[in-house]
Amino acid sequence: MTGAGPLGRRITPAGRQRGRDVMAAWHRLTDGDTVAVGPADGTTNGNGHDSGPGPVGRRPMSLAPWSVDGGGREDGRELLSVENLSIHFGGVQALRDVRLRVRTGEVTGVIGPNGAGKSTLFNCLSGLLQPDAGTVTFDGAPLRGAPSVRARRGLGRTFQTPRLFRSLSVLDNLLFGCETADWSGHRYVFDPRLGRLPQIERAERIAALVGFRGDLSVPAGSLPFGDLRTVELARALCGAPSLLMLDEPASGLDADQAQSFVGLMRELGDMGLAVLLIEHDMALVMGLCKRITVLDFGQVIAEGTPEDVQRNETVVHAYLGRSAARA
Amino acid sequence: MSITDVTTDVERAVQGAIRTAASSVASSATTPALTRRARLSRLVGGVVLAALLATLPFTMHWAGPAFAVDYGLIVAMAVLSISVLGWIGEISLAPVAQMGFGVVAVNVCQVHHIPFGFTLPIVALSSLPISLLLAAFTLRLKGVSFAIATLAFAYMAHKTFFLEYLGTYGAFGGTGTTQVARPSFVRTDESMYYLELAVLIAVALVCYAINRSRVGARFTALRESEMAFSTLGHPPAAYRFFAICLSGAIATVAGALFVYLQLQVPSNLLLPAQAILFFGYAVAGGLGSVTGALAAGAVFGAIPKYLETLTKSEFLNYDLFVIGLVVFVVMMKAPGGLAEIGRRVWRRVEGSPA
Amino acid sequence: MSKLLQTVIIGTVTGSLYSLLALGMVLVYRTTGVLNIAHGGIGVMAGFVAWDLVQLRHWPYYAGLLVGVSFAVLVGLAFERFVVRRLPNAGSRTVATLGLFLLAQGVVFVVPWWSNNSAQVFPSPFTGRVVSIPGADFAVSYDQIVLVGTVVLLFLGLQFLLRRTRLGMAMRAVSDDPAASRLMGVREELVAPVVWAMAFGIAGLSVMLIAPINLLENTSIVAFTLKALAVTFVGGLVSLPLTVLGATVLALLEAFTQIYAADIRGLPSAWPFILMVAVLVIRLIRPTKALDEQALAAA
Amino acid sequence: MLEVRGLTAGYGPVVVLRGIDLTVGTGEIVAMIGPNGAGKTTTLNAVAGMLPRGGDVLLDGEPLASAAEQVVRRGVALVPQGRKVFPRMSVEENLFMGAYPRGGTWRDFDRRAEPIFSIFPRLAERRAQIAGSLSGGEQQMLVIGRALLSEPKVVMIDELSLGLAPLMVETLLDTIVRFNRELGTACLLVEQAATAALEIAGSAYLLRRGEVVYHGPASRLRQDVDVLHGAYFGTATGTAAAAGRR
């Protein structure tokens, strides 16, 4: 018995239904369209900690907490700006003077050959690596500090190889994401069920949103590979990020899954979420991204719309080699 | 009546409703799964265990004095403090040294005439500086390196401090006191057993609660992927510090009880190598398991003492050999230790599919 | 002057003692990634086998020595074959060596005629013979000279093995990159038994060389092993020269504080810890970023 | 000489290769190209015995063992992806390990290494340097040199150009041509940056989703740019990229 509070296993369908009944009762009692749910608002709503278990905020429940920010969508606001980011490992300059802009409501692509420094860029942004130089501004303020601090500021990410908590249930994994944004349940730390009912509802809805159809109560380690990516994406979304960084999210997905992934990304973009995407599948990147940054040898060799990038000789050179460019 | 009052009333009503729902959520999960046989065996098992725990010093009187089982409980606590670090996947070999600081803390309390009621909480708090020092190591050291660092610390504590302060015979250097006095209500070893049991149960309940809470799940997550853990907004260092402080507090309290039991603790009972033995117990119990640690600690702690009496001191130090074998068997056959074996057996008793 | 010389000599001898134990552990860690906690324990067990034959059964010294070392080698082979190979990773193997440590300690107590709990005298043929240092009022025993000589030989031998022989190169390759070394035709399952047998043999030999100077006794040898562990940490658990350097530095510090600062009680014993903290601080100040990236990739 | 028939492989339950057929003739340079995740690396690893495999792999008509140690002794060497040097060993020691399967000792090392040092003069300059501190291109040279020291009949090189500067890639391709000509070693070259590899290769295979979708002379594939762009950018954008050539 190591550590796990296997929540997913302790809640049966019957129990869950009863939980839903109570939620419904709460709906009736308060007002038709407010919900007793804090998670969506936890980051933005200061009074998240001073009322009862349910009625944390009085905002409309939304699947997309990022759209709560200011109440409406404000597409095209510059959310993340990276200036002159550099890092080296030993004698290898992994990133050199990288410049990058990410706007809300848009999917921004980062492409480049293997080893170009794309994942290193993500690791620098999420605080796992300390860059040698450069400034990163996020949401109007410098982005600094430990990975956990950055995550709480709304920086969600996935990894090239999915890093789920393998012995925890899928639901527990998602609840972890929920906790990034919302600590209102921390008073129920010794009675996990009570404080978590709203979060569980939220996790279920987000699992459905990303198209996870499996059982939420199985250990995450037992999932097939394609589902690992989906669940990791859901977990990141549960954290209500304002910027979502996805590291090769479509690799290992089959055509159908990739298709629904594109649909999901469009939907999230419409909600006002900013997405930064590393991907090798060019068709997908070209179709999805508003702007693309091309990295090669740790340097930005091109930046612009998909059309610009495809026409760029340097890019064709970097991807296909010299003769394609020459031909 | 203002608007806010109405809201609070509604809130209270709904709070009540949610509580009810939550409790039914909990009960509905377990009730239908249990067969009659399982319920019966749980009841019988619980009663037998409670009865055994309540009378252990007396029921075991044929085998030896109550001191043996008292010692077993202290070992159980020390092993628990090692096992708890299994939550964050680290190995510490410092708990025996921390026990030593508990011994010293009790003596200091006694010199300053602090009543017994305050002593244990003070001892628990006094473990913090050393725990924080050890925890600072985990900022940079993980795994084997951390284990070596704790071992070096234990070695230093023994050689530079316990040897001086406790000496070969357990006298307290410079204080004029040669031994600790037990509080009046635990004059006998039998009554000491109940004091220990009470403390142990309290500590175990705290551990269970933490393990089952969201913090427990976070420990698991931290162990499985620190990168995912930190990029989801949780500070890994905080959880490491918490686990190490908890472990330190348990070990230090165990040390305090140890000196109450022994009255004198000579420094050679606090050898760093002793921690390796306790770690062996923790492995046998199943690292990270509270029940396993308690069971393994109590059994492996008490049995050699009983055997010592039964065989008229012919049996000495055989426990090293035995526990060595047990560690092998556990590593190869049941990496989860006694806890895993216990669960397997229990499933069979209950008659539910494994 | 004589006092200084004496301090340096004591430091050198003790340093060799730590090096001797540490080198064996570094060999195992460097080539398998397992921290062999059982090192000292195995040595004591083998030492007792030899002591049994020589002191109780009056075998010739060298025959006893040979049997003792062979015994340790056999234990090493058996341990690799039946335990190490069946465990999944370096972590669980390290825990298994811990079990072996307890077992080895236990064996010494279990055999009744090896006497309970007391230290044994285990003289070598050289015991009692000394070389007096000209111009100084003390002497160095042959046993001490043999000890220092063995460490030098062992160090050179291991360096030669790991740098110049096919076997040693294969060992290093396996530890650097097991997959790539398979591509080079190295069979890990043939390399690992050699490592374990060799390490356990060295452990047995070490204790038999230490025993005439100290006593053949569990507690002190285990204490030496603990210090040796701290020393291996200085060399990052892999570097042979740094390990020897660390051992010598530690022993010299201990000797100097013992002789020149005897009034600061406890300081000599604190050195292993202080040394470790110092190494840690150096690593904190100058973290190697390349290693961080490797850790990230491996995590 | 090296014949692969109906090769299947995967990782656990995930099937990556669905029956690959492949031939490398004596002294030939063959390119295998395809987008990420097509199964190129898996093919090489399966042939080299680093992965459990199904189907037949024959060398000179004899079945090739499935254990990596035996494969290299038979004369099929793999240069794995990501420049897997032994980082804590020197250049010389790395090369020594290359000669290991041929029973190489230090005594005759110099004689064995001489042709390799003449192909890669930069390795000779850095004989004593620790391999982990070499630059990326030098590490790539080192792993190729190391593979050649096992005196292989076929050397399989995985992602030669990965993360290397174009100039370095050209140098490396030139050395492949050189050892192919001088030592007669056949080469199976896996590349994502396709056209460079196609320039030196005789024949080529295009992989997609674990299957060979194209096989023919490299020169034809090189000219058939639409096939290439289709495979890389997806068919929809093929014309756009082709337009970019102008």
pLDDT in tens, D156-201: 999 887 767 667 788 899 999 999 998 899 999 998 767 778 888 9
> CB B316 to CB C116 under 8 A?
yes
Chains A and B touch (3+ CB pairs under 8 A): yes
Is the CB of residue B298 less than 8 Å from the CB of residue B76? yes
pLDDT for position C196: 94
Return d(Cα A85, Cα A133) in angstroms, integer: 6
Chain A positions touching D237 (Cβ under 8 A) are 282-283, 286, 310
Residue A44 pLDDT exceeds 70: no
Query: Is A323 close to D161, i.e. CB distance below 8 A?
Result: no
Residues in contact with D214: Cβ distance below 8 Å, sequence separation at least 6, in sequence order: D204, D205, D206, D221, D227
Interface test with C, best of B153, B267, B331, B333 (most C CBs within 10 A): B331
Amino acid at B173: G
Q: Is pLDDT of D85 > 70?
A: yes
**Residue C136, burial from CB neighbour count under 10 angstroms (0-12, 13-18, 19+):** middle
CA dist., res. D192 & res. D33, Å (int) = 6
d(C-alpha B219, C-alpha B205), whole Å:
17
Look up residue D245 and give its DSSP letter.
T
Measured in angstroms, the CA of B88 and the nearest CA of chain A are apart by 9
A153 touching C, CB under 8 A?
Answer: no
Contact C187 D106 (CB under 8 A): no
Helix (H, G, I), strand (E, B) or coil at D198: helix
Greater confidence, A95 or D34? A95
Averaging pLDDT over each range in B251-255, C93-97, C167-171, D166-170, which range is the top one? Answer: B251-255
CA distance A60 to chain C (A): 40
Q: How far apart are CA A157 and CA A167, in angstroms?
A: 21
Q: How many CB atoms lie within 10 A of CB D246?
A: 5
Q: Give chain B's mean pLDDT.
A: 83
Distances (CA, A) of B226 to B234, C105, C122, D235: 9, 37, 51, 41
| Neighbouring-strand partners of residue A136 | A82
pLDDT top residue among B33 and D240: B33
Q: Is the pLDDT of residue C211 over 70?
A: yes
Q: Are the Cβ atoms of D86 and C186 closer than 8 angstroms?
A: no
Cβ pair C101:B144 closer than 8 A: no
Shortest CA gap D61–chain C (Å): 22
Instruction: Please give the pLDDT value at position B82.
Output: 95
Q: Under the phi-then-psi rule, with left for phi > 0, alpha for psi from -120 to 50, and beta for the rest, what region is D191? A: beta
Q: Is the confidence at residue D77, as pLDDT, over 60?
A: yes
User: Do residues D32 and D87 touch, judged by C-beta distance below 8 A?
Assistant: no
pLDDT over 50 (residue A49): no
Whether residue D144 has pLDDT greater than 70: yes
Q: Is the ipTM of this complex over 0.95?
A: no
- The tens digit of pLDDT for each residue in A142-177 reads 998 889 989 988 899 999 888 999 888 898 899 888
Mean of pLDDT values over B182-204: 91
Closest residue in C to D133 (Cα) is C290
pLDDT at residue A245 above 90? yes
User: Going by C-beta distance under 8 Å and a sequence separation of 6 or more, which residues neighbour residue D191?
Assistant: D31, D32, D33, D159, D160, D161, D197
Instruction: Output the CA–CA distances (angstroms, integers) from residue D148 to A269, B28, D4, D141, D180, in the order listed.
Output: 52, 67, 22, 10, 10
The pLDDT of B194-203, averaged and rounded, is 94
pLDDT of residue D234: 52
Chain D: residue nearest C178 by CA?
D86
Mean pLDDT for A7-25 is 51
- C-alpha distances in angstroms, D219 versus A323, D178, D246? 12, 19, 20
Cβ neighbour number for residue A13 with a 10 Å cutoff: 8
- What percent of chain A stands above pLDDT 90? 17
Secondary structure E strands in chain B:
none
pLDDT at B320: 82
Nearest to B28 among A14, A159, A186 (CB): A14
CA distance D50 to chain A (A): 20
pLDDT value at residue B23 = 39
The closest CB to that of A29, out of B10, B209, B227, belongs to: B10
Do residue C83 and residue B323 have CB atoms under 8 angstroms apart? no
pLDDT of residue A14: 58
Closest CA to B287 of B92, B72, B75: B92
Q: Is B327 on the interface with A (CB under 8 A)?
A: no
Interface test with B, best of C85, C98, C227 (most B CBs within 10 A): C98
The answer to whether residue C16 neighbours chain D at the CB level (below 8 Å) is: no
| Range scoring the smallest mean pLDDT among C2-6, C235-239, D29-33 | C235-239
pTM summary value: 0.81
Report yes or no: C110 and C53 within 8 Å, Cβ to Cβ: no
- When pLDDT is averaged across residues B285-311 and rounded to a whole number, the result is 88
Q: Which two tokens stand for residue B306?
A: 């009983």
As given in the structure block, the two tokens for residue A195 are 């404080």
Asked if A294 and D215 count as a contact pair (C-beta separation under 8 A), the reply is no
DSSP C70-118: HHHHHHHHHHHHHTGGGSSSHHHHHHHHHHHHHHHHHHHHHSGGG-SS-
Largest CA distance in chain B: 81
Q: Is C183 on the interface with A (CB under 8 A)?
A: no
How would residue B11 be classed by pLDDT, with cut points 50, 70 and 90?
Answer: very low
Query: Does residue B2 register a pLDDT over 50?
Result: no
Percent of chain B with pLDDT over 90: 35
Instruction: Round to whole Å and give the CA distance between D194 and D228.
Output: 8
**Which of A207-216, B55-64, D138-147, D216-225: highest mean pLDDT?**
D138-147
Half-sphere exposure of D211 (CA within 13 A, CB side): 3
Evaluate whether D4 touches D22 at the Cβ level (below 8 Å): yes
Question: Would you give the distance in Å from CA D44 to the centre of its chain?
Answer: 8
Confidence of residue A194 (pLDDT cuts 50, 70, 90): low
Q: Give the pLDDT band (50/70/90) at residue C112.
A: confident
Contact B110, B179 (CB under 8 A): no
What's CA C272's distance to the chain center, in Å? 15
Candidates C286, C288, C293, C294: best to mutate against A (most CBs of A within 10 A) is C293
Residues of B in contact with C296 (CB under 8 A): 227
Backbone φ, ψ for residue D31 (5° rounding): -105, 140
Helix and strand totals (H; E) in chain D: 11, 10
| Distance from C-alpha of B341 to C-alpha of B289, rounded to nearest angstrom | 12
Instruction: Flag if A89 and C296 touch (Cβ within 8 Å).
Output: no
First-to-final CA distance of chain D:
41
CA distance D179 to A5: 60
Token pair for residue B232? 């989801």
Residue A42, pLDDT > 70, answer no
Whether B85 and B243 have beta carbons less than 8 Å apart is answered as yes
What average pLDDT does this structure show over B21-44? 60
Residue A267 φ then ψ, to 5° = -60, -45
pLDDT-based confidence at residue A136 (cuts at 50, 70, 90): very high
Helix axes C61-82, C39-51, angle to 10 degrees: 140
Q: Are the Cβ atoms of C186 and D69 closer than 8 angstroms? A: yes
Query: Reading across the β-sheet that carries D2-11, which strands appear in turn?
Result: D14-24, D2-11, D53-59, D62-63
Q: Which of C149, B82, A258, D52 is nearest to A246 (CA)?
A: A258
Please tell me which of the candidates A115, A252, A317 has its beta carbon nearest to residue D162. A115
Banded model confidence at residue A37, pLDDT cuts 50, 70, 90: very low
CA angle D162, D164, D166 (to 5 degrees): 115
pLDDT in tens, C237-267: 778 888 999 999 999 999 998 888 877 777 7
Contacts of A302 (CB under 8 A, 6+ apart): A292, A293, A294, A308, A309, A312, A314, A315
Contact flag for D and C (3+ C-beta pairs < 8 Å):
yes
Q: Tens digits of per-residue pLDDT, C38-50?
A: 999 999 999 999 9
